[in-house]
Amino acid sequence: MPDEIHLHTLTSDVEAVHADAVAVSLDSVLELLEPEDETDVALHALCRRVVQAFPGAAMAGITVLRATGPVTVAATSDELAALEELQYRFGEGPALDAVRSGETVRADRAAAHERWPAYAASSEPAGVHSYLSVPLPVAEQSAALNLYGLLPHAFHRMDESALELYVEAAAVAVRNARRYGEARNLIEQLRIALRSRAVIDQAKGIVMALRGLDAETAFDVLVTRSQRENVKLRVVAERVVAAVSARTTVHNGL
């Protein structure tokens, strides 16, 4: 019996060490990914360059339509971000039309009042007279590059063509930001899963040692307690490991 207890505990320890090693490896992968702040800097820099290249543009931003709704991922000013928040609130505006339709939107103040009355009325104090929004070719995600001008008729058809030169660069930046976010989320989920598995393996080894059970039966004991107490299996495992670590009695029939 003592040899079996030693073997069970050793096996659990080895599995835990392996899980920790994989978790450390995932952390190193995260460090290799492009930092999120660098992606944000690239998007904001692109917006600033667009404003510099187009004399009629006073502000520029990028709208992305996510599952949770539209969001401004880059803007040259807080004022622009506030303008786009108005569009999201009212569900109308040039940026939203561009991301929803996939077509370029160009309008002046008069057209804005006709097409987006609620937004146009609320954004009047900002003094915007001209709008130009161009959709970005981003797979599985709708996005648009938006220009705002303070002068009447600030944008023309030629500006639409010239803006196409910036569209691909903006699309690449948005794609990179999305992929980075997806990679971070996936790695974080894997890391949580590995840590949960490690503590469950430790708890299983403890139950095997205390009650002389095989691995499958010990796991069933933990599952039964999880269902009885209506808590996650990981929580039950953490309690068992904590109880043994503190040299206290493991209650509830274990």
Note whether 144 and 197 are same-domain residues.
no
Q: Is residue 222, in this structure, part of any structural domain at all? A: yes
Which residue do the tokens 């543009």 mark?
A: 57
Q: Which of 140, 175, 210 is the last residue of a domain?
A: 175
**Domain of residue 136, CATH code:** 3.30.450.40
Select from 175, 193, 226 the last residue of a domain.
175
> Are 29 and 80 members of one domain?
no
Q: Residue 235: pLDDT above 80? A: yes
In a domain, 250, yes or no: no
Express as a percent the part of the chain with pLDDT over 70.
70
pLDDT tier, 3 (very low <50, low <70, confident <90, very high otherwise)? very low
167 vs 254 pLDDT, higher one: 167
The structural domain count of the chain equals 2
pLDDT digits (tens, 9 = 90+) for 12-65: 444 444 445 444 554 554 454 455 556 677 788 888 988 988 889 999 999 988
CB distance 207 to 199 below 8 Å: no
Confidence at residue 11, expressed as pLDDT on a 0 to 100 scale: 42
The label of the residue with tokens 């130009």 reads: 132
- Tell whether the model's pLDDT for residue 234 goes beyond 60: yes
| 180 part of a folded domain | no
pLDDT number for residue 78 = 94
- What's the rounded mean pLDDT across residues 54-78? 92
Q: Which of 175, 209, 233 is the last residue of a domain?
A: 175
69 and 154 share one domain: yes
The answer as to whether 117 is a domain residue is yes
- Same domain? For 51 and 164 the reply is yes
Both 151 and 214 in one domain: the answer is: no
pLDDT score of 4: 37
99 and 132 together in one domain: yes
Q: Say yes or no to pLDDT of 7 above 60.
A: no
What does DSSP say about strands 59-66 and 130-136: parallel, antiparallel, or unpaired?
unpaired
Q: Any idea which of 57-61, 118-122, 159-163, 187-191 has the lowest mean pLDDT?
A: 187-191
Give the number of C-alpha atoms closer than 13 A to the C-alpha of residue 173, restricted to the C-beta side: 25
pLDDT of the residue at 96: 96
111 and 215 belong to one structural domain: no
In the numeric block, which tokens belong to residue 20?
A: 């920790």
Report pLDDT for 42: 76
157 & 236 share domain: no
- Regarding whether 92 and 26 lie in a shared domain, the answer is no
58: tokens are 């006073």
d(CA 133, CA 243): 60
User: Does residue 142 sit within a domain?
Assistant: yes
Mean pLDDT of the chain: 78
Torsion angles phi and psi, residue 72, rounded to 5: -90, 115
- The verdict on 7 and 29 lying in the same domain is yes
| pLDDT for residue 38 | 61
Which is nearest to 148 in space by CA: 91, 254, 208, 75? Answer: 75
Three-state SS letters, the chain: CHHHHHHHHHHHHHHHHHHHHHHHHHHHHHHHCCCHHHHHHHHHHHHHHHHHHCCCCCEEEEEEEECCEEEEEEECCHHHHHHHHHHHHHCCCHHHHHHHHCCCEEEEHHHHHHHCHHHHHHHHHHCCCEEEEEEECCCCCEEEEEEEECCCCCCCHHHHHHHHHHHHHHHHHHHHHHHHHHHHHHHHHHHHHHHHHHHHHHHHHHHHHHHCCCHHHHHHHHHHHHHHHCCCHHHHHHHHHHHHHCCCCCCCCC
71: containing domain: 36-175
Q: Which residues contact 123 (CB under 8 A, 6 or more apart)?
A: 83, 86
Would residue 252 count as lying in a domain?
A: no
Q: Which pLDDT tens digit goes with each residue over 133-179?
A: 999 877 667 889 999 999 999 998 888 877 877 777 677 766 666 66
Q: What is the pLDDT of residue 58?
A: 96
Task: Give the pLDDT confidence score for residue 236 in this predicted structure.
Answer: 84
